[in-house]
Chains A and B, each alone.
Chain A
Amino acid sequence: MIKSYKLRRIISNALIYILLGGLGLIWISPLVYMIIHSFRADGGAFYSHILPWPNADGVRFTLQNYVDLFTKADNTANFPQWFLNTFIIAIFSCIISTLAVMMVSYAFSRLRFPARKPLINVGMILGMFPGFMTMIAIYYLLKALGILQLPHLALIICYSAGAGLGYQISKGFFDTIPRALDEAATIDGATKNQIFWKIILPMSKPIIVYTILTSFIGPWTDFVLAKIIVGAQGQQYYTVAIGLQIFIDKEHKSAYFKQFLAGSVVVAVPITALFLFLQRYYVEGVTAGGVKG
């Protein structure tokens, strides 16, 4: 009886290992594909081999794609500049967004005032309109406000202006912090301002990291809004997402596809590293805030 139980466990674990191994392989295969092919020496966008094939000189792998990416700034490509732009935009919009999210969710979670419920409802309602609906209007609005001449600022505003609406998860997190803490501090004579900065925020590391992470990644991955806002400007204002899209549009695909792969790796690797490094906080934040428990 005991033996058969053990045997069953071994078999079931073996099965699980096989399954996980197979699934894991499927899950990372596109990324492995991307990394391997970013070192490819021959071919362009369309490729009829699963793995890189030796080119006419018998070379299979090369660093040239990366070298081109960082050294060739021409009329089509200017990757270092794009990278810098995105980095600046991401840093600023991440700071502003995180502050806005923290402020809104703290107010909704810990403070009580007459307009609270209606405002929460308005926030929910606004979140239900598809974001694409307004992108053209935002362009004209930025233009009317004269911000369009400063493309970086315009994008920072785009990414952080509405950030306050993403309060749900961090509000959920704040809800889990016992109210007794606030009350004790109030008795000790602390103002609400002090409670926010000195008591609640230091306790909220996971959710702060979570918010920083998501808002930092945003500008790196957005290719729709960015294109609408800075599409009419010179390419020196592009973000990496627009730039990489240009690498693979019809005109440039055959010449720039390998650079596209290299660029994708250059963007994906730091974000992935950051993400894995901070994964613990991400999970804690989203678990505590995203569900009721």
Chain B
Amino acid sequence: MKYIDYVQLNPFQKFWYNFKNAMIALPSNIGKVFKAIGRFFKKIFVGIGKGFAGYFTRFVKGDWATKLSYIIMGFGNIVRGQIGKGIIFLATEIAFILFMVTGLGQVGLGWSGIYNLGFFNNGKIGFHEKAYWAVDEVTGRRVHMPADNSMKLLLYGVMTLVIIALFIVIYVAATKSAYKVQQMKAAGEKPQSFKEDVAALLDEKFHVTLLAFPTLTISIFTILPLIFMILIAFTNYDQSHNFFQWVGFETFGQIFATTGASALKGKTFLELTKWTLVWAVFATVLNYILGMVVALMINKKGIKLKALWRTLFVVTVAVPQFVSLLLMSQMLDFNNGAINLVLQHLGIIKEPINFLGDLSHPWIARITVIVVNIWVGIPYTILITSGILMNIPADLYESATIDGAGPVRSFVSITLPYMLFVTTPYLITTFIGNINNFNVIYLLCGSAQQSNELYRAGYTDLLVTWLFNLTTVSGDYNLAAAIGIMVFIVCATVSLLTFNLTKSAKNEEEFS
């Protein structure tokens, strides 16, 4: 299609056109995604390289005070009048050295954190493999000699590494700062005072003030644990190995195994990944479309008591899911559950249906969870879409009606494209949310679908509920961590793809 034809399309046709193209270009887009990841890492390394290149040239060009700042951080700043800043640099250095030497009295922090990480013991994290009871020679009383706790050592090691990395960044920054004051002095400028630095934090550097606290907490409580758990995927940490060691990609090998001892794990991973994707697609699409239909009904002209209808649905959002879903699972119970009782009373079924526990027909449970998820999800869709639905120009519908289109037709050709166009970001988040939808499956099914055909999983388990079971019930920590990484890869691929898709659509929109 030529540009001139393209511009003449209406926005919805443009969207479909782009959508079609994006689907055709899917394979090359996937390629692009990997390229993008490659570029991302390249950028990081180039950035680091640049940082260090500057580090050496600055040393060569610096005067004695700057050179001394390479050993005593902040020296250059203090000598040249930036006392506040200089002292902070110096304090950091002292704190860091103290931390590295003493490890704050904790085995595994500071230098011993590095020492214990497996570099000196064939990849084993720690040294004392087995706990034992010794006898005190003097008193004749027993003393417990515990084994090294690899988990703790690894966590402390990661903490140490993060602190070292942070320190290096600050250290390089300090040398840069020292060189900068030197240059400013040379140029006859007055280096900004500590007070000016602080004032800047409320204006041109306001982003620093705003982001400092959230970044700190996120680094400690999100990023640090994440690094740690990613590393766990490369160890053999499970219930039988409290003292563990690095095993490289062995755990990932188990996930993809098709034969041999790990075949069951491989099969389970494959099965659950398939089901997770099917589930996510159905859960997202059904909730979206049905929710929109209900919202349209509520908002239709001439329908009264709109607030009441909306409230009926929306109330369910506010009730904690562990309550509402638990009640649901009771109502769906095979034995005397309310739903079976009602259906039997009404004569719709003769025998009760085992909605959640029928292992001979796992699809019954799978359909049940999808249907229950509609119950959970529709109110959210109503909340999100009501406002936007009202924004669709009424004349579009009118002209469609004049053309003889029925309600279904106008929904498919007007409402849906418009909504898709406007709510793609919401759809992506919902899709990812559904891949990680723990509550519905866990609270509804529990272990009712547990089967020996799968490795510690049931037919309705998603990857994330499997992960949860592996961590809390069977203690396969390394496997769980590896699955977590796989879930991440699935989510990242999906969202990068859709992101590219919408980006292209958006750009087109902008130039038309």
Contact = CB atoms under 8 A, between A and B. Distances in A.
B221 A161 contact: yes
A219 B500 CA distance: 35
Contacts of A121: 40
A138 B225 contact: yes
B210 A104 contact: yes
B146 to A, nearest CB: 16
Contact of B302 (A9, A131, A191): A9
A238 interface: no
A246 interface: no
B168 interface: no
Given A30-B316, A144-B156, A272-B318, 20 more contacts: A23-B313, A24-B313, A33-B327, A107-B206, A111-B210, A130-B436, A132-B468, A137-B224, A144-B152, A162-B222, A164-B215, A165-B218, A192-B204, A193-B209, A220-B320, A224-B438, A241-B320, A267-B323, A268-B318, A286-B383
Contact of A129 (B155, B312, B487): B487
B222 A244 contact: no
B226 A126 contact: yes
A33 B331 contact: yes
A231 B401 CA distance: 61
30 contacts: A16-B297, A16-B303, A20-B303, A48-B336, A103-B213, A104-B210, A119-B215, A128-B491, A130-B487, A130-B488, A135-B471, A136-B229, A137-B155, A137-B229, A141-B155, A141-B220, A144-B106, A162-B217, A165-B222, A168-B429, A191-B202, A192-B204, A193-B203, A193-B209, A221-B321, A223-B322, A245-B322, A268-B323, A271-B318, A286-B384
A196 B213 CA distance: 16
Interface in A235-261: 241, 244-245, 248
B425 interface: yes
Contact of B214 (A33, A104, A136, A286): A104
Interface residues of A, number: 90
Interface of B: 40, 106, 151-152, 155-156, 159, 202-204, 206-207, 209-211, 213-215, 217-218, 220-226, 228-229, 294, 297-298, 300, 302-303, 309, 311-324, 326-328, 331, 333, 335-336, 338, 341-342, 375, 378-379, 383-384, 386-388, 391, 407, 422-426, 429, 432, 436, 438, 463-464, 467-468, 471, 477, 480-481, 484-485, 487-488, 491-492, 495, 506
Contact of A107 (B40, B156, B207, B432): B207
A contacts with B: majority SS = helix
B322 A244 contact: yes
Contact of B375 (A26, A116, A217): A26
B298 to A, nearest CB: 7
